[in-house]
Amino acid sequence: MILILVMVLIMASGCSIGYYSQSVSGHLSLMSSRVPIQDLLEDDNTSEDLKAKLRLVLQIREFASNALQLPENDSYKSYVELDRKHVVWNVVAAPEFSMELEKWCFLIVGCVNYRGYFSEQDAQAFAEELRTEGKDVFVPGVDAYSTLGWFDDPMLSTLIKRSEPRLAGLVFHELAHQLLYIKNDSAFNESFAKAVEIEGVRRWMQHRGTPKLSQLYEAQKQRDQQFVALVKNTSEKLKQLYAENLPQEVMRQKKAEIFQHMQQHYGQLKTNWQGYNGYDRWFGKDLNNAKLGTVGIYRNLVPAFQVLLQQHNGDLNAFYEAVKQLSKLPKEERLAELDKLLNTSLSTSGSLQ
């Protein structure tokens, strides 16, 4: 399987071979560095702090398959210690006056709204090319990625220090991608995985029975919802602006004003959060169309999937089957069905998230 995948990638068109080469070499280097978690737990040289985290990972992994019906395989049963702060850097871009993200198409996975690099330098070099074309560009560091079941994905040192809810959410999210992924629809894939993540963490916290941690998680979830609402509201304002027939300089000025208003609103949110500053880094630089667009990909359709889960009375197997049936529809029909579910979520009292 590995050799077939590598040969398919390397046989890509000449103009893409450099990109595919770094993807293949970076990924295979990661896979060859895996160490079974059980071996590390039995190794006297493994620190007690790391052992505690690795035991938690195995518990989360078992819960994912037994309680959430997510794929049962060896993903997240091995560990890789990385020598860098992120495993991959994604390059995301959008036109200066559009909220539509650029797409790049690849073998195996189809078209997605980013290009991933194992080297930050390579990612920044490509990002600079896009900036010279006048694009809005965002280069986020990524702490994990899914191979969609082609390989057994390892737990990474970039993830291990996360809080328990965030660590569990990551595992549930990436395993959801292994359960279901369709080509050429990033919003569908990411929103589905995010919905599984949110529901999975909710059930995990109930399973753990840790009231204090649950309270902290609920507070963070509420802040996250307010952050997403602010991004969505700003994105809608920008879409309305870009639809106007205005001179470019006027458009740029109004665009800057919208982002300034967004910053001000964030300041008000921080006051309500008693000074919680966990989003400062996100707001610190590169506020542009591309950055806002990444939030939309992961979040806009989440309420639709949550309504679908609710309609199946929380039965995950029935929910997964319903999502699989949705995924088989032509894209326009699929979007129409998701819109109906979104409208249902808007009409219900309270947030499903």
pLDDT band at 348 (very low <50, low <70, confident <90, very high): low
Closest among 23, 41, 133, 123 to 78, alpha carbons compared: 41
Is the residue at 272 inside a domain?
Answer: yes
Where are the strands (E) in the chain, listed by range?
35-36, 78-80, 88-94, 104-106, 110-112, 115-117, 136-138, 141-142, 155-156
pLDDT band at 299 (very low <50, low <70, confident <90, very high): confident
Kindly state whether residues 324 and 247 are assigned to the same domain.
yes
Q: Say if residue 210's pLDDT is above 50.
A: yes
The number of distinct structural domains making up the chain is: 2
Kindly state whether residues 301 and 236 are assigned to the same domain.
yes
**Hey, what are 158's tokens?**
């970039």
Q: Which residues contact 91 (CB under 8 A, 6 or more apart)?
A: 114, 115, 116, 117, 123, 126, 127, 130, 137, 138, 139
Kindly state whether residues 216 and 204 are assigned to the same domain.
no
What are 226-285's pLDDT values in tens digits? 999 999 999 999 999 999 989 999 999 999 999 999 999 999 999 999 889 999 999 998
Kindly state whether residues 189 and 320 are assigned to the same domain.
no
pLDDT band at 297 (very low <50, low <70, confident <90, very high): confident
Under DSSP, is residue 112 helix (H, G, I), strand (E, B) or coil?
Answer: strand
Of 154, 186, 208, the residue that ends a domain is 208
Q: Say if residue 7's pLDDT is above 80.
A: no
Our CA angle for 141, 142, 147, nearest 5°, is 150
Domain that holds residue 270: 212-347
Closest among 343, 293, 298 to 195, alpha carbons compared: 298
For the beta carbon of residue 216, count every other beta carbon within 10 angstroms: 15
Q: Which residues contact 90 (CB under 8 A, 6 or more apart)?
A: 114, 115, 116, 117, 123, 139, 140, 142
pLDDT band at 150 (very low <50, low <70, confident <90, very high): confident
Kindly state whether residues 199 and 234 are assigned to the same domain.
no
Kindly state whether residues 196 and 253 are assigned to the same domain.
no
Q: Which residues pair with 94 in a beta bridge?
A: 136
Is the residue at 331 inside a domain?
Answer: yes
Is the residue at 48 inside a domain?
Answer: yes
Residue 165's pLDDT is 94
pLDDT band at 2 (very low <50, low <70, confident <90, very high): very low
Under DSSP, is residue 115 helix (H, G, I), strand (E, B) or coil?
Answer: strand
For the beta carbon of residue 349, count every other beta carbon within 10 angstroms: 4
Kindly state whether residues 172 and 240 are assigned to the same domain.
no
Q: What percent of the chain has pLDDT over 70?
A: 93
Kindly state whether residues 299 and 199 are assigned to the same domain.
no
Q: Which amino acid is at 349?
A: S
Kindly state whether residues 258 and 340 are assigned to the same domain.
yes
Q: How far, in Å, CA of 259 to CA of 254, rounded? A: 9
Kindly state whether residues 196 and 229 are assigned to the same domain.
no
Kindly state whether residues 243 and 183 are assigned to the same domain.
no
| Residue the block writes with tokens 């740029």 | 252
What are 16-30's pLDDT values in tens digits? 667 778 888 888 888
What are 136-145's pLDDT values in tens digits? 999 999 998 8
Kindly state whether residues 198 and 217 are assigned to the same domain.
no
Query: Please, are residues 34 and 156 in contact by the beta-carbon 8 Å criterion?
Result: no
